[in-house]
Copies of this chain bind each other. A is one copy, B any other.
Amino acid sequence: VPRVTANKANELRRRAAEANVAAILDGTVALLEHHSKPSFVDIARAARVSRPTLYAHFPTREDLIEAVVKRAIESTARDVAGARLEEGAADLALRRLVVMGWRGLSRQRTIFRLAMDLPPKRRRQVHESALEPVRRLLMRGQRSGEFRDDQPTEWMVSLLYALLHAAAEDVAAGRLDDDVVGELVYASAIGALRPPNGDRS
């Protein structure tokens, strides 16, 4: 086989695989709007791929969930990057981050519920792409004195992540209104992250 043709064939196979994966993820998300646990048969049908193809890409349900969640998080991570967290006062950047993070979570509520099915460890891992700019913002604020520096940055990352997810659970449970969440989470987060003044008994 001439080398150029072999490369070309590989390239076509790669593109077909990518298109299949995208179709499978789209099909899964579409089905999730109506069924909480669509079957692999339904997903293959919705994605117009064969079941062997589906299983080849996603051997287990958890693999598929993880891929769906990962894609959603990557889209939120792009929004977060657009919030330019490296610019301006750290507290204003934090506000932009919370608003963006919340928009991402609430736009993708179905997927958020799905993420809750992943074990906590795996859930945190798929979030890593969105957490890195958050970590950098927190370190910047700690260096400038806008955020407290008596706590590990990693704990402050966990705190922000926990507040956003707690708010999402509260909205899903009807305990909180969607449109107050941004301000609420920001107010709690900035209180927790600012250097304490005076006695903390």
Contacts and interface: CB of A to CB of B under 8 A. Distances in A.
A175 interface: yes
Interface string A182-198: 00100111111110110
A158 B154 CA distance: 21
B200 A190 contact: yes
B154 A161 contact: no
A92 B167 CA distance: 26
A119 interface: yes
Query: What's the number of copies of this chain in the assembled complex?
Result: 2
Interface string A154-198: 110011011101110110110110000000100111111110110
Which of A89, A162, A190, A197: most chain B CB closer than 10 A? Answer: A162
A92 B187 contact: no
A173 B121 contact: yes
B151 A158 contact: no
A120 interface: yes
Interface in A91-135: 91-92, 95, 116, 119-121, 124
A7 interface: no
Given A116-B119, A193-B191, A155 B184 contact: yes
B191 A120 contact: no
A95 B116 CA distance: 29
Nearest to A116: B120
Contacts of A170: 154-155, 158
A201 interface: yes
A91 B169 CA distance: 26
22 contacts: A92-B201, A120-B169, A120-B173, A121-B172, A121-B173, A148-B191, A152-B176, A154-B175, A154-B176, A155-B167, A155-B176, A158-B166, A158-B170, A159-B163, A159-B166, A162-B162, A162-B163, A188-B192, A190-B196, A191-B196, A192-B192, A197-B197
